Amino acid sequence: MSCLGFKGGIGTASRVVPSGHTVGVLVMTNFGERGRLTVSGVPVGQLLPPAPAPTAPPAGSCIVVVITDAPIDPAGCQRLARRAGLGLARTGSTAHHASGEIFLALATGLRAPRGTVSPVTPLQGRQLDPFFAAVVEATEESVLNSLLNAPTVVGRGGNTAEGLPVDRVAALLALHS
């Protein structure tokens, strides 16, 4: 997997919203061009040296799974899932023609014994706003976590997927803070 021109993989992050509920995000990162990599608003991909070898054109797929313990119904979960794309965009994704993003969300807060209906009222409308923000932030962090934890690997035929140079990125972020 290649994420924004570097070795990608799986990343996770979570947020606790003011109501005390948790929003967790798991991302499989396989998308984007190196020059678009953005970290905390800093155009890191443009500031790092270019790739040592030509890279493949942007394509790939990204899967984002959002889960919360809040009482959110299926329509609310669909709305949560749509916010994952905003978190990807913060890191530099533009969802190229050949990309295939899949966003899923589920909530456990309305569970009830089989054959019964949950007595809990689902969150709706503006009550979901903190959850939307949590999804965006945790998705962005999940992508960065996948990059920060993926080492350089060499595969068949000498194909190399370069790991993100963490020290260089930290220095760039320090310069721009």
The catalytically annotated residue of 61, 137, 142, 162 is: 61
Q: Examine the residue annotation and report whether 61 is marked as an active-site residue of this protein.
A: yes
In terms of DSSP H, where are the helices of 66-160? 74-82, 84-91, 129-148
Q: Examine the residue annotation and report whether 99 is marked as an active-site residue of this protein.
A: yes
Return the bridge partners of 10, or none.
28
Q: Examine the residue annotation and report whether 2 is marked as an active-site residue of this protein.
A: no
Residues 109, 21: contact at Cβ < 8 Å? yes
The catalytically annotated residue of 2, 14, 19, 99 is: 99
The catalytically annotated residue of 40, 101, 137, 177 is: 101
Tell me the C-alpha distance between 80 and 108, whole Å. Answer: 14
Residues 92, 36: contact at Cβ < 8 Å? yes
Active site residues: 61, 99, 101
